[in-house]
Chain A
Amino acid sequence: GAGVSQTPSNKVTEKGKYVELRCDPISGHTALYWYRQSLGQGPEFLIYFQGTGAADDSGLPNDRFFAVRPEGSVSTLKIQRTERGDSAMYLCASSFLGGNTEAFFGQGTRLTVV
C-alpha cells in the first residue's frame, strides 16, 4: 500500500478482554515500530522489529503486552486482560532498514477500555 495501515481505527473493549491491533507497513520497509500515545503527550516507544525478530522490546509496559511479526511484514500488537489504563492511541511506524532514516506513521488505533 501507499502508506502504513492500521486496523481497526477505533476499538472499544471491556476491562479484562483480549485485543489485537494490526499494522501493515509500507512495502519493503524492514523496520517496524509500535508506540503508545496518551492524550496530551508525545508517543512512547513500545517495541521495534527488524525483519521478523523483535530487536528491542524494552518499552513494553508489562507481560500483558506482546507483539509479533511472523513474516517480516504485518505486525500484531496483542494486549491481554486489558485495563482502563491501557486506553490510548497505539501508533505503528515503519522505515527502510531502520537507523537514521525517517519513520512513516500510520493513522493509529484508538483503544478505549471501559
Chain B
Amino acid sequence: SQELEQSPQSLIVQEGKNLTINCTSSKTLYGLYWYKQKYGEGLIFLMMLQKGGEEKSHEKITAKLDEKKQQSSLHITASQPSHAGIYLCGADVGQGAQKLVFGQGTRLTINP
C-alpha cells in the first residue's frame, strides 16, 4: 500500500513558470529522496533530505523537508522543457533505510 501521497498527479505549466510538487506521509520520514524519471526509463537521483527543516538546491530545483519530517516539497523555478518528466519521492519510513517506499509520481509537462 502507498504510504506516500504525491500531489498533483499531473501538472502542465508554461515554460518559464514556477511550480511545486508535494509529497506527504502519515509517518515520520527518516530519509526523503527525490528522483526524476523519463517515461520508460530508470530513475535519476535529484536530492536527499534527512533533517527536519532541511532545504537543498541544485540549479533551478529546490527541495525542502518540513520540521515534522512528514512533508516535502520540490520547487522548480523558471521551468524549462528539460524539466519535463515524472517526479517521484521515495522515503525510508522506518522499515529499514534500504527499503524505500515511493509515491505514485507526478507527471510534469512543460508547454513552450
Contact = CB atoms under 8 A, between A and B. Distances in A.
A98 B97 contact: yes
A43 B90 CA distance: 9
A42 B42 contact: no
Contacts, number: 71
B42 A105 contact: yes
A50 to B, nearest CB: 7
Given A55-B98, A108-B41, 15 more contacts: A31-B98, A33-B98, A41-B104, A41-B105, A42-B2, A43-B43, A99-B97, A100-B30, A100-B31, A100-B48, A102-B45, A104-B45, A105-B44, A108-B40, A110-B40
Interface size class of A (residues with CB under 8 A): 20 to 34
Contact of B100 (A6, A45, A50, A89): A45
Interface string B75-107: 000000000000010101000111111111100
Contact of B42 (A56, A91, A100): A91
Contact of B102 (A43, A56, A110): A43
B83 to A, nearest CB: 19
Contact of A108 (B2, B42, B96, B102): B42
Contacts of A33: 98-100
Given A41-B104, A100-B31, A56 B45 contact: no
A106 B30 CA distance: 24
B45 A42 contact: no
A44 interface: yes
Interface in A29-76: 31, 33, 40-45, 48, 50, 55-56, 58-59
Contacts of A44: 102
A42 B92 contact: no
Nearest to B100: A45
A7 interface: no
19 contacts: A33-B98, A45-B100, A48-B98, A55-B98, A58-B99, A59-B99, A89-B40, A91-B42, A91-B43, A98-B98, A99-B98, A100-B30, A100-B48, A100-B50, A102-B33, A102-B45, A104-B45, A107-B41, A108-B41
Interface string B16-56: 00000000000000110101000011111100101000000
